[in-house]
Amino acid sequence: MKNLLYILLLLPTLVFGQSGEGYINYKSYKTHYGNGSSSTYNGVSYGGGADSSAEFDAMVDTNQPGTTLTHSGEVSPYGTTGLYGGAAPRWGGDYYATVYSGWFKPNKSGTYNIKTYADDSSETRYREAGTTTWQYMTYQWGCCSNVFGTATLDNTKWYEFEFRYQEYGGANYYYFGYSLPANSSSPIYNWISSNHQFGTWTNIDPSGTSTEIDPEVDFQFEFQSNIQPEKYRFRVYYDATNEQDGTVWYNTSTTNTSYYLDNDGTKDITDYLNLVKMNDGKKATTAGGSVEWCVVYDYDSTNKRYRVGIDKREFPSGFTFTDLKQLKLFDLWDDEITYMSDDAYWANYYIYTDTQFNFTNSTFSSYIRDANGFYGMKAEFSFEDVEIYKGHKVTFMSPSTNIEGWTSTEFIDDYVTVADVVSAFSELAGGGINGGYKGDLNGVQLQNADVNGDKKFDFQDTFKLLKFLQGEENLTTNNSLSQIMRPVPKSVYDGTTTSNWSTQSNYSPTTNIPFSLVYDSIQQIQYKVGFLGDVNLSHSAAQTNNTTTSARMMSVRNSSTQNTTLLEVNLDIEQTEEHIIVTLDLPENNFNLVGSEFRIGFDNERVEYDKLETSTTMNTFDAKRETYIKIGSISVDGSMNLNGGVQYKIYFKPIQSFDSTLGLVSVKKSEVVDKNANIINVIIK
Amino acid sequence: MRKSLIFLLLILLSCQKDELMVVEPYPQYEMIFEESISKVVDGQEFSFEVSTTEEHTLIISHENNSVITKESFTPTMGLNTRVLYTKSLPKGELNLSLVNVGEEIQKTTIIVE
């Protein structure tokens, strides 16, 4: 709870663009667990103030359990949040580290004198754009005095920089100052400001090689037409674990905000994403060299992989070999690798691939030697951090706060009706004595009909549906939205057939929709939404290119007993000394009705349900809810029908005396269905 | 002197006890069928006049005329007052009609909020 509060209160919305000139990037980390404790990861530890560059690296490594990236974005280099104060957004006043990065081009050529002032340890370093080795203007391990250094710069070149400092406790700041080359023999220092800019600063790679653009994510949820998408609310969460294992999720909004879908079920959630990246190991890149630092053993066709050995002398000091997760090996491979082992001389990895390398035709073939059993590679290695976006998910909330009187049970009552139950029984019974299905239901309907989720549609499911209809059991454990809502990727939903319905993905109901962010992409994520138990698809999205009719309405004309396309049901409400009696008379007909269902609402503060009497011998039910009662009849095997008509008398007991009864009870819904699960229109008279 | 007398007279008049007019409130009847549409609330009384004492029926129905609820009663000649309970009714616009011997004699629209 404490962690959650911390995140909700202190983590800002971490969505920033990159504005270019006049701005630099920053990242702020909570370090030392936020309480001063030391941290260790893979044998590398840090504690207190940074005493070396390696310890500083560890301090800002989010793989360390004590380190969490809390803020990132861009600031002006000239102000207090930038290089004149170091007060970029951060989680607190102690136990943090801030890293400024970007590129600068100095105003003058020559040797600058540099002065920095930081509390606690700091490193002020740079490198010519396109090179890999940091050069230090200044650094200080510990606290906290003016530190001096030099940098010889060319005002026609861009330089990449990384200025970082960390705070353990007490005062906290970072200042960058300089003296122009013209004054190198007798420096005149100025702290950086808008009047003393030092040069041009930018957070967009001036080489133009960095084209990384944050992703845009548009969701589209397709519901059945009688569902109001704009009533559905959701929150956006990100995976807060270093392992990205989905065990801890935080709302991307610091205020735990939720959002409504648009009327058409769409929503652009780009503004709600957490675009702070995290380290995900290292990537090695190779260039042709003069020494065979690398060997690739012959292809293992059994396991479909190559074993790659890299000479340990190619790795930086202190490198954690298990962190190497990607490899660009000449033009042969540029993807993930799997750590195998390492010994005193070699670090070994697997490359899993179904396709063997074409060593002979590689443009780097002059660096490759076929050694009969392995290939020697004259390769020089460089290493870089791999950064990934955190996992995300959208989680739907119950619409009970948006739709007056909405409860999941009532919602299920809306879509699991006598027509669904008849349809389910008909599908099973229609297979004949040899079993099998009748063939009326499509793949999505079969998924919805499998209400116990065992990936088999059988009589266990139909009787579960029947018991729900009759009010004897919940459809699920607690009838919550997360147990009935089934969002499925559109292509999967539309591709669900009677053959693959039980093996399709996204089978289990859920209100969580996970998704990954992809660099420089516009992600249009399309889902269709179905509901568990909705056998006739009255409330589930229709499949595209599927001709199965949902909630089939019958339009036949009954010519003998009732010469109309409607079935008129007579309603009478009378008050006796003890009861208010609702009488429904379904007349003689020839629709071969095997099911009926009426929902009778009642004012539960003034009357209470007592009993049901009926004239039919068909299986009759009365399911009591808080404000209504479901009554009706059903013949699950179709052996009986209501052609002879039926009368239902529903008795309510007044809780108080009444002179008037108008509105105390009401007929809220009605449905009758024939043995083929066709719904016959009903009008109450 | 004359001014003093007038002033004295004004003082005397001003000291007289106020004569308050007690007005008996007329019974307020919501003549619901005189309005083409009206909002209703739970437990609301409404009134209407009938010209016979035969059994009448109040019917609330959807726009498609499917009946939601009804109440049959034997009225008194002239003004009748009934009570409408709305908690079990659907929200929105509904028809309210008064029927006598199968003939609809009054009709209006009610809005249940």
**What is the reported pLDDT for A239?**
95
**What is the reported pLDDT for A208?**
61
Q: Which of B66, B83, B90 sits opposite A683 (nearest CB)?
A: B66
pTM of the shown model? 0.66
Q: Give me the residues of A, 395-434, that contact B with CB < 8 A.
A: 404
Chain B residues within 8 A (CB-CB) of chain A?
58, 60, 64-73, 82-91
Instruction: From residue A223, give the alpha-carbon distance in Å to each of A226, A260, A403, A543.
Output: 8, 14, 16, 11
Residue in chain A nearest B113 by alpha carbon: A404
Of A224, A202, A159, A201, nearest in space to A536 by CA: A224
CA-based nearest distance A405→chain B, Å:
11
According to DSSP, the residues that pair with A649 across neighbouring strands are: A583, A613
Q: Decide if A574 and B72 are in contact by the 8 Å CB cutoff.
A: yes
Residue in chain B nearest A663 by alpha carbon: B85
Over pLDDT 70: what percentage of chain B? 74
Of A585, A566, A572, A586, nearest in space to A682 by CA: A566
Per the structure block, which two tokens stand in for A92?
């607190």
From chain A, pick out residues whose CB is under 8 angstroms from the CB of B91.
404
> What is the distance in angstroms between the CA of the first residue and the CA of the last residue of chain A?
57
From chain A, pick out residues whose CB is under 8 angstroms from the CB of B88.
601-603, 627-628, 663-666, 668
**Bond before B15 cis per omega within 30 degrees:** no
Phi, psi of A229 (to 5 degrees): -60, -35
Report helix, strand or coil for A369: strand
Q: Decide if B90 and A668 are in contact by the 8 Å CB cutoff.
A: yes
From chain A, pick out residues whose CB is under 8 angstroms from the CB of B41.
none
**Residue at token pair 């290695």:** A381
Instruction: From residue A3, give the alpha-carbon distance in Å to each of A6, A9, A14, A32.
Output: 5, 10, 18, 15
As a whole number of angstroms, the distance between CA B29 and CA B97 comes to 17
As a whole number of angstroms, the distance between CA A487 and CA A222 comes to 9
Average pLDDT, chain B: 84
From chain B, pick out residues whose CB is under 8 angstroms from the CB of A605.
87
**What is the reported pLDDT for B81?**
94
Of A653, A569, A654, A574, nearest in space to B71 by CA: A574
Q: Note the residue count of chain A.
A: 685
Instruction: Give me the mean pLDDT over the B67-89 stretch.
Output: 96
CA-based nearest distance A569→chain B, Å:
9
Of A622, A626, A625, A624, nearest in space to A605 by CA: A626
Report helix, strand or coil for A540: coil
Q: Decide if A571 and B86 are in contact by the 8 Å CB cutoff.
A: no
The answer, for A459 touching chain B at a CB cutoff of 8 Å, is no
From chain B, pick out residues whose CB is under 8 angstroms from the CB of A666.
60, 68-69, 88-90
CB atoms < 10 A from the CB of A604, how many? 16
Low-confidence ranges of chain A (pLDDT < 70): 1-18, 208-212, 431-434, 546-565
Q: What are the start-end ranges of the E strands in B7-101?
A: 37-40, 44-50, 56-61, 67-73, 78-84, 92-100
CB pairs under 8 A between A and B: 77
Q: Give me the residues of A, 573-592, that contact B with CB < 8 A.
A: 573-574
**Residue at token pair 């080359």:** A181
Per the structure block, which two tokens stand in for B79?
């003004």
Of A614, A670, A674, nearest in space to A638 by CA: A674
Q: Note the residue count of chain B.
A: 113
CA-based nearest distance A644→chain B, Å:
23
Q: Decide if A666 and B89 are in contact by the 8 Å CB cutoff.
A: yes
**Interface mutation vs chain A, best among B63, B84, B87, B88, most A CBs within 10 Å:** B88
Q: Which of A658, A666, A683 sits opposite B69 (nearest CB)?
A: A666
**Interface mutation vs chain A, best among B45, B64, B69, B91, most A CBs within 10 Å:** B69
Q: Decide if B71 and A662 are in contact by the 8 Å CB cutoff.
A: yes
Q: Decide if B71 and A660 are in contact by the 8 Å CB cutoff.
A: yes
CA-based nearest distance A572→chain B, Å:
7
As a whole number of angstroms, the distance between CA A40 and CA A47 comes to 9
**What is the reported pLDDT for A9?**
35
The answer, for A663 touching chain B at a CB cutoff of 8 Å, is yes
Contact A671, A601 (CB under 8 A): no
From chain A, pick out residues whose CB is under 8 angstroms from the CB of B58.
662
The answer, for A571 touching chain B at a CB cutoff of 8 Å, is yes
Q: Which of B66, B67, B84 sits opposite A663 (nearest CB)?
A: B84
Per the structure block, which two tokens stand in for A568?
């008129």
**What is the reported pLDDT for A652?**
97
Q: Going by C-beta distance under 8 Å and a sequence separation of 6 or more, which residues neighbour residue A56?
A: A46, A50, A97, A121, A123, A164, A166
Q: Decide if A573 and B58 are in contact by the 8 Å CB cutoff.
A: no
Nearest 5°: CA angle at A293, between A292 and A294?
A: 90
Phi, psi of A323 (to 5 degrees): -80, -15
Residue in chain A nearest B73 by alpha carbon: A660
Residue type, A131: T
CA-based nearest distance B35→chain A, Å:
19
Residue in chain B nearest A598 by alpha carbon: B68
**What is the reported pLDDT for A4?**
39
The answer, for A662 touching chain B at a CB cutoff of 8 Å, is yes
Q: Decide if B84 and A662 are in contact by the 8 Å CB cutoff.
A: yes
Phi, psi of A381 (to 5 degrees): -105, 140
Complex ipTM: 0.79
**What is the reported pLDDT for A66?**
92
The upper half-sphere exposure of residue A338, i.e. CA atoms within 13 Å in the direction of its Cβ, equals 9
CA-based nearest distance A557→chain B, Å:
19
CA-based nearest distance A575→chain B, Å:
9
